[in-house]
Amino acid sequence: MQELIDSVTDHPGYDSSAMPKKIRQLIKELTNAGFYEIHGGDKGSHRKFTHARYPGAVTISGKAGDDAKPYQERQVQRAVEEVLK
C-alpha cells in the first residue's frame, strides 16, 4: 500500500495543495475579511455573505464539511481580494 502512495506522491504532476478546501474554510476566509452572513430567505444549505466594500453578495452552498467546488474557491478568493484592495 505504501508503494502505491509513494508512486502517486512522487509523481511530477502531484500537487498536495490541490486538495479542495472545505466549505467551512471558505466561510472562515470570508468572515476573516469582514464579510457577514445575511440571514433569511436562503434555502437549505445556501448562505449569502456581504461586505460594505463588495458589490452584491457571495453565495456559498453546501454543508460545512463538504468539499468546496473550484468555482466557489475562486469566487471567495476574488471577493476577499476585492475588499482588501
pLDDT at residue 71, rounded to an integer? 95
Q: How many residues does the chain have?
A: 85
Contact 83/36 with Cβ under 8 angstroms?
Answer: no
How many distinct structural domains can be found in the chain? Answer: 1
pLDDT at residue 9, rounded to an integer? 47
Residue matched to cell numbers 468546496:
68
Instruction: Show the domain range for 48.
Output: 20-83
Query: Is 3 part of any domain?
Result: no
Res. 32: pLDDT tops 80: yes
Res. 49: pLDDT tops 80: yes
Residue matched to cell numbers 508512486:
7
Dihedral over Cα of 4, 7, 10, 12: its sign: negative
Query: Is 10 part of any domain?
Result: no
> Could you tell me the pTM of the whole model?
0.76
Query: Is 44 part of any domain?
Result: yes
Q: What is the CATH number of the domain that holds 65?
A: 3.30.920.30
Query: Is 9 part of any domain?
Result: no
The percentage of the chain sitting over the pLDDT mark of 90, rounded to a whole number, equals 67
Q: Residue range 26-52: average pLDDT?
A: 90
Q: How far apart are CA 66 and CA 39, in angstroms?
A: 21
